[in-house]
Homo-oligomer: A and B are copies of this chain.
């Protein structure tokens, strides 16, 4: 048995599936968010996420963490997922608490476990390449490193956090491993252009691989209050007080991302550059990056479309209604049973203003 195979036996997936996905409204709704929808393929994004890793990490070693409302849908969409592998977070508190709570369960399943923390709503076109990178990351995780996967940028995107590479310290199965020099918040366009030109910055994919033991050490060191809260929960797991303690503690837990809470502070963080056709589908404007366009530059998904002088537009429909357009350029049209959204690609991020306006008008049934 080679060390690599041995590592694989301890490799578990944690799939984060509690997000609201408002940026893909009106297709994505509070009651049925992005990760539970078939946005890009015939399967839901959660199903694609599970299938993508399955040759490396079987469903038996896959945990999905979500909220109480989405849990039944998660179970229905991934029926071979054991009910005990669906973890329910009492309330959204950012990625650090979510991952920490899940780590408690993984630690009991396998004290040697390595966690690959994955998002449930990302597209990765090269699944095999992605699994290879996860394997290399697991090797580094086994050695105690906190491993991040960084995406080779192909544009000065201002919607992502960036990771600046430091020195290369290793090569695993052809993957160069770099120390992380610095994490950077979403940059201005000028800064993003410098990042792109400098060739030493990667997009932070939000995909992390680490030993659960190393992660718990990091929580103890960098988020001591949260670590104490986790220990209180840990002590109650398996007892009749488990749920009560979890609910009580979670009221106190501070909202925090694992990036800021742990990764920006730790000194054992490495990054593996990745080129696997990754896309976080963070807005409608990103779909044309991953889907083929017709000769007019239009990307049509599900839509029954007739266009005159219409180009470089996204036409998305979950209804079978006809979308007829004249003189439309660089626009997004999303048609659902009860809402049609029309906006320029350049303003896809402003959907949050529509959401806010609907809340203000007490029209939450559209959210």
- Residues of chain A whose beta carbon lies under 8 Å from any beta carbon of chain B: 26, 306, 308-309, 321-328, 331, 333, 335, 337-344, 346-347, 350-351, 353-354, 357-358, 361, 363, 366
Contact A327 B306 (CB under 8 A): no
9 further A-B contacts with Cβ under 8 Å, apart from A326-B342, A331-B342, are: A306-B358, A308-B350, A321-B338, A321-B339, A322-B340, A323-B340, A326-B350, A327-B344, A327-B346
A331 closest partner in B (C-beta) = B342
Chain A contact residues, majority secondary structure: strand
Contact A353 B323 (CB under 8 A): no
Q: Could you say which of B324, B326, B343 contacts A326, with CB atoms under 8 Å apart? A: B343
Contact A343 B327 (CB under 8 A): yes
Contact sample, A vs B, 8 pairs, CB 8 Å cutoff: A306-B354, A321-B338, A321-B339, A321-B340, A322-B363, A324-B343, A327-B343, A342-B342
Contact A322 B306 (CB under 8 A): no
Instruction: Report the separation of the CA atoms of residues A309 and B349 in the bound assembly, to the nearest whole angstrom.
Output: 13
Q: Could you say which of B308, B323, B347, B358 contacts A357, with CB atoms under 8 Å apart? A: B308
User: Max chain B CB contacts within 10 Å: which of A324, A343, A358?
Assistant: A324
Contact A325 B339 (CB under 8 A): no
- Inter-chain contacts of A353 with B (CB < 8 A): 308, 326
A359 to chain B, nearest CB (A): 11
- Inter-chain contacts of A321 with B (CB < 8 A): 337-340
- Inter-chain contacts of A357 with B (CB < 8 A): 306, 308
Instruction: Report the separation of the CA atoms of residues A347 and B308 in the bound assembly, to the nearest whole angstrom.
Output: 10
Contact A342 B322 (CB under 8 A): no
- Inter-chain contacts of A308 with B (CB < 8 A): 350, 353-354, 357
- Inter-chain contacts of A325 with B (CB < 8 A): 341-343
A30 to chain B, nearest CB (A): 15
